[in-house]
Amino acid sequence: MPHKIIIDTDPGQDDAVAILLALASPELQVLGITAVAGNVPLSLTARNARIVCELAGRADVPVFAGCDAPLSRGLVTAEHVHGKTGLDGVDLPDPTMTLQDMHGVDFIIDTLRREPAGTVTLVPIGPLTNIATAFRRAPDIIARVHRIVLMGGTYFEVGNVTPAAEFNIFVDPEAAAEVFAAGVDLVVMPLDATHRALTSRAWVDAMAATGPVGRAVASWTDFFERFDKAKYGHEGAPLHDPCAVAWLVAPELFSGRRINVEIETQGRWTTGMTVADWWGVSGRAPNALFLRDVEAPALFDLLTRRIGSLDRHG
């Protein structure tokens, strides 16, 4: 039986690759995609999610628009990384599939109430606003979630948007704090792991050779790689969000520790920091599996095979 998942996302080129990996993976059944404001405003993330579904030949996947702003702060976006549309790098047609009428938060609540308890995994790869809002509105669903596998946070690698914070957590730290405190089984894919999964020229070329879907992935990667190259000085770009989906398909590729992770919401310099008790010094109970490493060659091989299969069967 495939794992039932809801992808909560702010596409974003790396979100797009994550969605493609999920749609190409028989181990996963994507019940729906909920868009959230993050890399770009909600109108664009909701549009981009549909563009990606159509690119994969999966206009049947329901896409919902969720929250357009963090719980209690103004929205911070990342056009400097992802471009004006959020999916800069290749021109793809406007989506023809329509956005669902229902709000994304209602979809999350309804789905968790409808499906048998403990069978639905949430996969947030953007700010945690939709998930925290669903938990606030319907606390009864919290115990029904099988697991949350999210991309966000950083510890050893320090921040990418401030010196202390990773983007997804920084954009809505109050939401993150509520989700981390909810008591759900949590798997956290921080920068510490994703910065060990850098794309290579050979991989981008192999991806491009698979067909139109692979070419889109290659163009997206080339686009946002420019930012990472300029910033970090290394060749290649980290594929953050696909790592979260890859953990669901092949957890053996990743290693980490079960530790306590708290979210800083009040810091003068550190708001959005994931305070990760890697060395177990706090005495606080573990609340997350915090990943730190990935077998990068195997991860990229998985991506090429799976996303390439969309071109072969698409």
Q: Which is nearer to Ca ion, 204 or 243 (CB)?
A: 243
78 is in the binding site of which of Ca ion, ligand BDR, none (Cβ under 5 to 8 A by kind)? ligand BDR
Which residues contribute to the site for ligand BDR (CB under 6 A)? 12, 14-15, 39, 78, 81, 125-126, 151, 160, 166-168, 240-241
Query: From the list ligand BDR, Ca ion, none, which binds 160 (C-beta under 5 to 8 Å, kind-based)?
Result: ligand BDR
Q: Under a CB-based contact definition with an 8 Å cutoff, are residues 2 and 27 in contact?
A: yes
127 binds Ca ion (CB under 5 A): no
Residue 60 token pair: 């049947």
Of 90 and 206, which CB lies nearer to Ca ion in the complex structure? 90
Hey, which residues between 4 and 43 contact Ca ion (CB under 5 A)?
Answer: 10, 12, 15
Q: Which is nearer to ligand BDR, 137 or 231 (CB)?
A: 231
Contact 23, 30 (CB under 8 A): yes
From ligand BDR, Ca ion, none, interface partner of 81 (C-beta below 5 to 8 A by class)? ligand BDR
**Interacting partner of 311 out of ligand BDR, Ca ion, none (Cβ under 5 to 8 A depending on kind):** none
Least distance to ligand BDR from the beta carbon of 240, Å? Answer: 4
CB of 221 to ligand BDR, least distance (A): 13
Cα first-last separation, the chain: 23
Closest to 122 measured CA to CA, from 114, 139, 134: 134
Look at residue 299 and give its three-state secondary structure. helix
C-alpha Rg value of the chain to the nearest Å: 18
Helix (H) or strand (E) holding 154: none
Q: Which of 89, 95, 126, 236 binds Ca ion (CB under 5 A)?
A: 126
Instruction: Choose the contact partner of 287 out of ligand BDR, Ca ion, none; CB within 5 to 8 A by kind.
Output: none
Active centre residues (catalytic) = 240
How many whole angstroms separate alpha carbon 277 and alpha carbon 90?
41
Distance in angstroms (rounded) separating the CA atoms of residues 305 and 213: 12
Helix axes 212-232, 201-208, angle to 10 degrees: 160
Question: Which one, 15 or 172, has the nearer CB to Ca ion?
Answer: 15
Q: Is 239 in the site for Ca ion (CB under 5 A)?
A: no
Pick from 125, 169, 188, 302 the residue near Ca ion by CB under 5 A.
125
Q: Which residues pair with 289 in a beta bridge?
A: 187, 258
Query: ∠ at Cα 73 (183, 177), nearest 5°?
Result: 15
Query: What's the length of the chain?
Result: 314
* Cβ count near 117 (within 10 Å): 12
Pick 160 or 274: Cβ nearer ligand BDR: 160
* Binding stretches for Ca ion (CB under 5 A): 10, 12, 15, 125-126, 241
